[in-house]
Chain A
């Protein structure tokens, strides 16, 4: 239809965009609030700074692994309890990739270390994405819309995958040392900041920036956000949500693979059960953040990272309960999570 076909007696008016999105800052303000509360409890500012950077790094790594899962749940209501498999698989693929690159990881030159690490991360992401595509096709697709079956079959898929990792790489712990130039710490006053943790924060910020840009500035991202809210209406507008879901699932798996490499380097060793261990934290994070919300997942992950590190230092016996306690506190405040997705 053109302008000549549509006649209206009213004159055209200039479009005046009005920026009026109200962003809820309170959950974000929780981060500095918790950090400030922790300062007198920790005691010395240098220790506090070290713990804060460690917490942020841990939070960023959890966010990378959790971001895909929260979108998968938001988009298709799929409860994937096998998500941890992609984390562990990515980490083991990274070990296999770094093996032949020992001259690069052992070099004192930072750029060589980063190239080796980049190759390992890329390999982990590709392998985890491929595994994710197969997992979605074989395990998840037959149980769309059946939550109980999803829980059981994805958990079963995760267990089988874990056993396959044991078959390939063995059941024992495997060391994953940091590349030479990433070992040690940078001094900032009296504080000692781990080089790798600083790198983890940077990588986490880059991943969040890319995700945020894609979700907020591209049509694809718009579709994902709309699909999280009302997938039926997205289909009624002419888009195949199934294809979109596969894309998100595969991307989420790739990010989990990347997160697995980073978590492995964070712990400096791997065990076949590492996916299940991280999975618990991931589910806490996506519930805290609000199911389907990427921003929520980031804030939730950073909160978990900070609280676990502060509590681990101040009240070591309570470390195991720190993340659960945080989950309960947040849900008492906001039962739908920090950034609930409207329409769900």
Chain B
């Protein structure tokens, strides 16, 4: 069963035609990796799913419901959390304020789910350590941890993360993988854009490869990992 599906999705940004009919399925409860060269249209695909850029044609269904015409807050309210490539941290706010903002049901910090917060602190200790710090003062890796922590501060149906491992130290990448695996164990569907193929191979169940605004490969990660030639053809990797 698919949590998310895109059929023939086209996206224009101004005069530019970026997506040329994207067909993508994201199986429920699995981790799907969206790979591709720079400029292939991966980020545009994520932003189109979230309604941040409008699809000019095609269908996007989440949990069986058409969402292509829905505003971003409605898509988010369906349980879709999004972490953009630039992380979207509110730099003037503290770490705890960033977390509180992401918890839509909580009005005060005391309303946050304590057990969930403890779990997040175990996954990303920096979030606890810098709880009262201004988020803008954190390092790049700490901001990335905060961005993901913020996305999971409440239970979500689906996580969409644009390049979660970008610029992270290996130890933090391991924490990130732990976090996503633990979320997967609870049934959360995940769609990740990733440049780091090794990260993708460790985590992904399913893989889709984009090139020039279309999906050129769709399949299981195990098949993809075994086929070096396919990887070279699709991603230009010299492995």
Q: Are B92 and A343 in contact (CB under 8 A)?
A: yes
Q: Contacts A3-B119, A6-B119, A222-B100; is A229 near B131 (CB within 8 Å)?
A: no
Interface segment, one of B121-129, B206-214, B231-239? B121-129
The contact sample of 30 A-B pairs, CB cut-off 8 A, is A1-B186, A2-B115, A3-B119, A7-B182, A12-B122, A13-B118, A18-B130, A18-B132, A20-B133, A21-B132, A21-B134, A22-B137, A219-B100, A219-B101, A222-B97, A226-B93, A226-B101, A230-B90, A232-B52, A233-B90, A236-B50, A236-B72, A236-B82, A237-B76, A237-B102, A238-B76, A239-B73, A239-B104, A342-B92, A343-B136
Cβ of A19 within 8 Å of any chain B Cβ, yes or no, is yes
Q: Which residues of B contact A172 (CB under 8 A)?
A: none
Q: Contacts A13-B128, A236-B84; is A226 near B73 (CB within 8 Å)?
A: no
Q: Contacts A18-B130, A20-B132, A219-B107; is A237 near B92 (CB within 8 Å)?
A: no
Q: Are B88 and A236 in contact (CB under 8 A)?
A: yes
The chain A residue sitting closest to B156, CB to CB, is A1
Dominant secondary structure at the A interface: loop
- Mark each residue of chain B from 31 to 52: 1 if its CB lies under 8 Å from any CB of chain A, else 0: 0000000000000000000101
Cβ of B155 within 8 Å of any chain A Cβ, yes or no, is yes
Q: Contacts A3-B115, A3-B119; is A20 near B97 (CB within 8 Å)?
A: no
- Which of A2, A19, A22 has the most chain B CB within a 10 Å cutoff? A2
The chain B residue sitting closest to A343, CB to CB, is B91
The chain B residues found within 8 Å of chain A, CB to CB, are: 50, 52, 71-73, 76-77, 82, 84, 88, 90-94, 96-97, 100-102, 104, 106-108, 115-119, 121-123, 125, 128-134, 136-137, 155, 182, 186
Q: Are B77 and A238 in contact (CB under 8 A)?
A: yes
The chain B residue sitting closest to A10, CB to CB, is B122
**Minimum Cβ distance to chain B for residue A55 (Å):** 29
Please measure, in the bound complex, the distance between the C-alpha atom of A67 and the C-alpha atom of B50, giving whole angstroms: 33
Q: Are A240 and B92 in contact (CB under 8 A)?
A: no
- Which of B96, B102, B119, B131 has the most chain A CB within a 10 Å cutoff? B119
Q: Are B94 and A21 in contact (CB under 8 A)?
A: yes
Q: Contacts A236-B88, A237-B104; is A15 near B71 (CB within 8 Å)?
A: no
Q: Which residues of A contact B73 (CB under 8 A)?
A: 235, 238-240
Please measure, in the bound complex, the distance between the C-alpha atom of A240 and the C-alpha atom of B76, giving whole angstroms: 11
Please measure, in the bound complex, the distance between the C-alpha atom of A18 and the C-alpha atom of B96, giving whole angstroms: 11
Please measure, in the bound complex, the distance between the C-alpha atom of A219 and the C-alpha atom of B131, giving whole angstroms: 17
Cβ of A35 within 8 Å of any chain B Cβ, yes or no, is no
Please measure, in the bound complex, the distance between the C-alpha atom of A118 and the C-alpha atom of B125, giving whole angstroms: 52
**Minimum Cβ distance to chain A for residue B53 (Å):** 10
- Mark each residue of chain A from 319 to 344: 1 if its CB lies under 8 Å from any CB of chain B, else 0: 00000000000000000000001110
**Minimum Cβ distance to chain B for residue A324 (Å):** 29
**Minimum Cβ distance to chain B for residue A103 (Å):** 45
Cβ of A101 within 8 Å of any chain B Cβ, yes or no, is no
**Minimum Cβ distance to chain A for residue B85 (Å):** 12
Cβ of A223 within 8 Å of any chain B Cβ, yes or no, is yes
- Mark each residue of chain A from 13 to 38: 1 if its CB lies under 8 Å from any CB of chain B, else 0: 10111111110000000000000000
Q: Are A229 and B71 in contact (CB under 8 A)?
A: no
**Minimum Cβ distance to chain A for residue B129 (Å):** 8
Q: Which residues of B contact A230 (CB under 8 A)?
A: 88, 90
Please measure, in the bound complex, the distance between the C-alpha atom of A19 and the C-alpha atom of B131, giving whole angstroms: 9
**Minimum Cβ distance to chain B for residue A321 (Å):** 33
Please measure, in the bound complex, the distance between the C-alpha atom of A235 and the C-alpha atom of B116, giving whole angstroms: 23
**Minimum Cβ distance to chain B for residue A15 (Å):** 6
The chain B residue sitting closest to A12, CB to CB, is B118
Q: Which residues of A contact B134 (CB under 8 A)?
A: 20-22
Q: Contacts A1-B186, A13-B128; is A18 near B133 (CB within 8 Å)?
A: yes
The chain A residue sitting closest to B98, CB to CB, is A226
Closest 8 CB pairs of A and B: A3-B115, A233-B88, A238-B76, A342-B91, A235-B72, A10-B122, A12-B118, A6-B119
Q: Which residues of B contact A235 (CB under 8 A)?
A: 52, 71-73, 76
Q: Which residues of A contact B96 (CB under 8 A)?
A: 17
Q: Which of A8, A19, A225, A240 contacts B90 (CB 8 A)?
A: A225
Please measure, in the bound complex, the distance between the C-alpha atom of A219 and the C-alpha atom of B103, giving whole angstroms: 10
**Minimum Cβ distance to chain B for residue A112 (Å):** 40
Q: Contacts A20-B132, A219-B107, A237-B101; is A6 near B77 (CB within 8 Å)?
A: no
Q: Which residues of B contact A18 (CB under 8 A)?
A: 129-133
Q: Are B116 and A6 in contact (CB under 8 A)?
A: yes
**Minimum Cβ distance to chain B for residue A97 (Å):** 36
**Minimum Cβ distance to chain B for residue A296 (Å):** 12
The chain B residue sitting closest to A340, CB to CB, is B92
**Minimum Cβ distance to chain B for residue A118 (Å):** 31
Known interface pairs A3-B115, A219-B108; 17 further A-B residue pairs with C-beta atoms within 8 A, sorted by A's residue number: A10-B122, A13-B125, A13-B128, A15-B117, A15-B131, A16-B131, A21-B94, A219-B107, A222-B101, A226-B101, A230-B88, A230-B90, A232-B52, A233-B90, A234-B101, A235-B72, A236-B84
Q: Are A17 and B77 in contact (CB under 8 A)?
A: no
Q: Are B102 and A8 in contact (CB under 8 A)?
A: no
Q: Contacts A1-B116, A236-B82; is A226 near B132 (CB within 8 Å)?
A: no
The chain A residue sitting closest to B135, CB to CB, is A342
Q: Are B92 and A229 in contact (CB under 8 A)?
A: yes
Q: Which residues of A contact B72 (CB under 8 A)?
A: 232, 235-236
Q: Which residues of A contact B93 (CB under 8 A)?
A: 222, 225-226, 229
